[in-house]
A = this chain, B = another copy of it.
Amino acid sequence: MSRSDIIQAAAQIFRKKGFHATSMQDIANAVKLQKASIYHHVESKQEILFTILEDALNLLIGDMRAVVDSDLKPKEKLRLAMQVYVGRLTGDADLATVLLLEYRNLEKKLRTRHSVRRDRYEALWRKIIEEGVDQGVFRSVDISIATFAIMGVQNWMITWYREGGRLSALELSDNFSELFLSGLLVEK
C-alpha cells in the first residue's frame, strides 16, 4: 500500500460523494486499511485534497506549455489545446472533477496557494487567444471573456460527460473548437 494508492482512492471517493461527505473511514475502507494507518502515509485529510489538486494541475500545465510553445498558428493551437484538455477531463474524471469542484474545500492558506497556480494555467489559454487577436486571425473580442467562455464550455463537461457516450473525446473537442472558431450562424 503506497501513498499514491491512498490519494487515488480518495480522489475517486471525493468525486462521487464530495470532500466533506467523505470520511477518512471511507478512504480507509477503500484501501483496506484501518483509519489510523492512513495517517502513517498522509498528514491530514486536507493534505490529501491538496495533493490531488497539485498533481492534476501540474499535469495540465505541462500539457499547455507544450502547446503554447509550439510553432503552430493560433487557430491550430486552440484546436490542439482543446483536444488535449478534453482528453484529460474525460480520461481521468476523478482527478478532473475534484480539481474543478472541490478546491473550494481547501482551507484558506492552501486554497490561495492553489489559486495562484490555477491562474497561471488559465493565463496560458489567454495567451493563445491574445496571439490570435494580435495576428488578426481572431476578431478583437474581449480576451478575458473569451478565455472564461472557452474554459467554461470544457470544464462544464465534468457535469454531463459519461464514458462510453455517443461521441469520443476527440469528437467532442473538435465540435467545441469548431463552434468557437466559426460560431453558430451560417456564412453571411
Contacts and interface: CB of A to CB of B under 8 A. Distances in A.
A139 B182 contact: yes
Given A75-B185, A139-B184, A152 B156 contact: yes
A132 B183 CA distance: 13
A129 B104 CA distance: 34
Contacts of A187: 188
Interface in A146-188: 146, 148-149, 151-157, 159-160, 166-167, 172, 175-176, 178-188
A84 B188 CA distance: 27
A146 B176 CA distance: 8
Given A181-B185, A183-B181, A175 B20 contact: no
A20 B141 CA distance: 40
A145 B185 contact: no
B181 A181 contact: no
A137 B20 CA distance: 47
Contacts of A139: 182, 184-186
A179 B148 CA distance: 12
Q: How many copies does the complex hold?
A: 2
A67 B166 CA distance: 30
B186 A138 contact: yes
A84 to B, nearest CB: 18
Contacts of A87: none
A179 B20 contact: no
A131 to B, nearest CB: 12
A43 interface: no
Q: Which 8 A-B pairs have the closest CB atoms?
A: A183-B183, A152-B156, A20-B20, A152-B153, A182-B183, A145-B175, A138-B184, A149-B153
Given A138-B185, A181-B183, 20 more contacts: A18-B18, A18-B20, A20-B20, A78-B184, A136-B186, A138-B184, A138-B186, A141-B179, A142-B167, A144-B166, A146-B184, A148-B153, A148-B156, A148-B160, A152-B152, A155-B156, A156-B156, A179-B180, A180-B184, A182-B185
